[in-house]
């Protein structure tokens, strides 16, 4: 089967850096998007700290930018590369996933437009409250760990 080739553009490719901030006890940090979040479909959802890479930006730098832009107290956190994930939906997502040791910054809090930063046990995530694309990243991470 021959597939039609599509040119990559801003409309059909998103390259993101996502942060998995762990507490060392099996929990990860999720942010709750407030009513001021610029993307209305994100409001009220739980999200991983994440950003879309700027043209030419190193994913490591973008991951650091995600935590420092979205979390107060994140300055001592340093990213450690975990994996790359890829998803195809309404557009193609390439996700650079980085681990951060949240124990190195024990007083993390959400910066606007986020209204809450809380740790959730991986074994008991509130799946219905997590944005679907971020839940896919979390589940992809867990699946990779099991294989």
Are 60 and 81 a contacting pair, CB within 8 Å? yes
Going 77 to 82 to 84 to 85, the CA torsion angle's sign is: negative
Which structure tokens are listed for 69? 């832009």
User: Going by C-beta distance under 8 Å and a sequence separation of 6 or more, which residues neighbour residue 124?
Assistant: none
Give residue-wise pLDDT tens across range 2-27. 667 777 776 778 899 999 999 999 99
CA distances for 139 relative to 95, 123, 136, 143, 147, angstroms: 13, 11, 5, 6, 13
> How many CA atoms lie within 13 Å of 110's alpha carbon, on the beta-carbon side?
20
pLDDT of residue 47: 98
Give residue-wise pLDDT tens across range 72-120. 999 999 999 999 999 887 788 999 999 999 999 989 999 999 999 999 9
User: Going by C-beta distance under 8 Å and a sequence separation of 6 or more, which residues neighbour residue 71?
Assistant: 21, 29, 31, 49, 105, 108, 109, 110, 111, 117
Distance CA 72, CA 93 (A): 27
pTM for the full model?
A: 0.90
Distance CA 99, CA 120 (A): 15
pLDDT of residue 147: 60
Distance CA 67, CA 74 (A): 6
CB atoms within 10 A of CB 6: 9
User: Going by C-beta distance under 8 Å and a sequence separation of 6 or more, which residues neighbour residue 16?
Assistant: 50, 51, 52, 53, 62, 93, 94, 95, 96
Average pLDDT over residues 110-136: 96
């Amino acid at each position: 089967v021959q597939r039609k080739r599509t040119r990559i553009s801003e409309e059909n490719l998103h390259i993101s850096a996502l942060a998995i901030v762990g507490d060392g006890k099996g929990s990860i940090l999720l942010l709750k998007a407030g009513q001021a979040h610029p993307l209305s479909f994100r409001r009220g959802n739980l999200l991983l700290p994440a950003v879309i890479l700027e043209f030419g930006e190193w994913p490591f730098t973008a991951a650091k930018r995600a935590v420092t832009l979205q979390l107060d107290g994140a300055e001592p956190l340093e990213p450690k590369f975990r994996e790359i994930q890829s998803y195809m939906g309404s557009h193609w997502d390439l996700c650079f996933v980085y681990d951060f040791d949240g124990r190195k910054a024990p007083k993390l809090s959400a910066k606007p437009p986020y209204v809450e930063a809380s740790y959730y046990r991986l074994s008991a995530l509130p799946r219905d409250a997590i944005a679907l694309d971020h839940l896919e990243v979390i589940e992809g991470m867990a699946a990779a760990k099991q294989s």
